[in-house]
Amino acid sequence: MALFTALRKASFRGVPFGVTSGDVELGRRLARHEYPQRDIPWLEDMGRKAREYKIEALISGPNYRTERDALIAALETVGPGQLVHPWHGTVRVTVSTVSLSESTESGGLARFSITFIEVGAAFEPRVEVDTLEILNQRYTAALDTFLGDFSAAFTVKSLPEFAVAGTFDAVIALVTKVSSPVTSAATGLSSFPSSLLYTPATLGAALQDLIMTTDGSETRVLDFSLPDAETPYPTATRLKIIANRRALSALANATATAKTIRTLSETAPKTLDDARTARKEITRVFDALLLDPAVAQASADATAQLVSDAIAHYMALTPTLPRIARVIPLADLPALVTAHDFYGDDWLVADREAEIVARNAIRHPGLVSAGYPLELIT
């Protein structure tokens, strides 16, 4: 009797029914591999088979037609549903086949032969956004915007000779600032003849290319600003000279800012702290650009979009980045011993000894001094 008291009331999608018997088909999915000249095949296990629950359901009594129709509606509803099985508990299934037979026995009787198949969660391929590629596309778009603002603001047409010469001197000052101190500035100057002044788009593209391809140029150009020429009499010529100098400053500053943002974003951070430091530097250079009165609104907006994509890139990275633990050694130990004490057997595989020495600027790996805080990647 204990067996029958333990049985659960059967139902599907909340519609109850009686059960006279039930079968379950179990097993493994096997791929059979039979080879020539080999008597015994190899069976490859492909995982557990989907369980099939075959139930003989019964609905009877004076209200059997109403209860029968409710069960039919539940069985024909699209999608998986919850089956309460008398012997196997609650399972998520879908209906495979149903057969129904009816008789007038006991005032009305409906017998269902139902086959349910278990259903699991639908696993879909995880979609990952290539945030770095989006950032590179935004970087190219920002450079185009900077060049458009420069071309709209810069011109030497109708300017007298002294004004053209002064504007060319400003270009040379910028090129000299961009050029690496190790190399000769004359190499870069030879690419900027004075005739470029009359084609602002070509001049701007050449200046951008010089900034983007010269190592370390962004650090030298971020603070670049051509001072406005003093002009007690704001004539049209003098105002145009000032506008040209501001256009050159804005182009250099915006390009160097964008290059800094991309360089920081392309450098994979080793820890969460490194990522936070890079994000702070991105915000700092962007704020400095916004304070530059020479930068046009379109260039500022394009840089803001670039910063937004850079932050999104770092947000995608941070969940997988390790953190930094700060510890203070209590005794003088070699870096190797320090690495083994903190990381265990992982110290050798991950080359933790060299990592500790490099991150903490330890002079000699044979001595990690006590009392001084260490940064260790967790």
pLDDT digits (tens, 9 = 90+) for 285-329: 888 888 888 889 999 999 999 999 988 888 888 777 777 778 888
Task: State residue 113's pLDDT score.
Answer: 92
Domain span including residue 139: 131-320
Q: Judge if 149 and 275 occupy the same domain.
A: yes
Last residue within a domain, chosen from 118, 150, 173: 118
The verdict on residue 194 lying in a domain is yes
**Is it the case that residue 187 has pLDDT exceeding 60?**
no
Q: Judge if 363 and 316 occupy the same domain.
A: no
Other CB atoms closer than 10 Å to residue 74's CB: what's the count?
16
Q: Judge if 77 and 53 occupy the same domain.
A: yes
Task: State residue 122's pLDDT score.
Answer: 63
**Is it the case that residue 269 has pLDDT exceeding 80?**
yes
Q: Judge if 269 and 314 occupy the same domain.
A: yes
Burial of 163 (0-12, 13-18, 19+ CB in 10 A): middle
The token duo for 329 is: 């050694």
Q: Judge if 26 and 159 occupy the same domain.
A: no
Indicate the number of domains in the chain.
3
Task: State residue 181's pLDDT score.
Answer: 58
Is pLDDT larger for residue 325 or for residue 209? 209
Please name the amino acid found at residue 43: L
> What φ, ψ does residue 211 adopt, rounded to 5°?
-65, -40
The verdict on residue 126 lying in a domain is no
Q: Judge if 313 and 337 occupy the same domain.
A: no
State the CATH number of the domain containing residue 50. Answer: 2.40.30.200
How far apart CA 318 and CA 53 sit, in angstroms, is 46
Q: Judge if 258 and 335 occupy the same domain.
A: no
Residue range 280-287: mean pLDDT, rounded: 90
Task: State residue 2's pLDDT score.
Answer: 47
Q: Judge if 169 and 106 occupy the same domain.
A: no
Task: State residue 138's pLDDT score.
Answer: 92
Q: Judge if 169 and 205 occupy the same domain.
A: yes
Reported as type and span, the H/E element at residue 54 is strand 52-60
Output DSSP code: residue 256.
H
Last residue within a domain, chosen from 56, 90, 118: 118
Reported as type and span, the H/E element at residue 53 is strand 52-60
- Alpha helices per DSSP H over the chain: 2-6, 64-76, 131-153, 161-178, 185-189, 200-213, 217-221, 236-266, 272-290, 297-317, 335-343, 346-349, 352-359
Distances (CA, A) of 348 to 30, 54, 144, 323, 354: 42, 57, 48, 19, 10
Task: State residue 3's pLDDT score.
Answer: 47
The verdict on residue 123 lying in a domain is no
Please state whether the predicted TM-score (pTM) of the whole model is above 0.75: no
Q: Judge if 305 and 339 occupy the same domain.
A: no
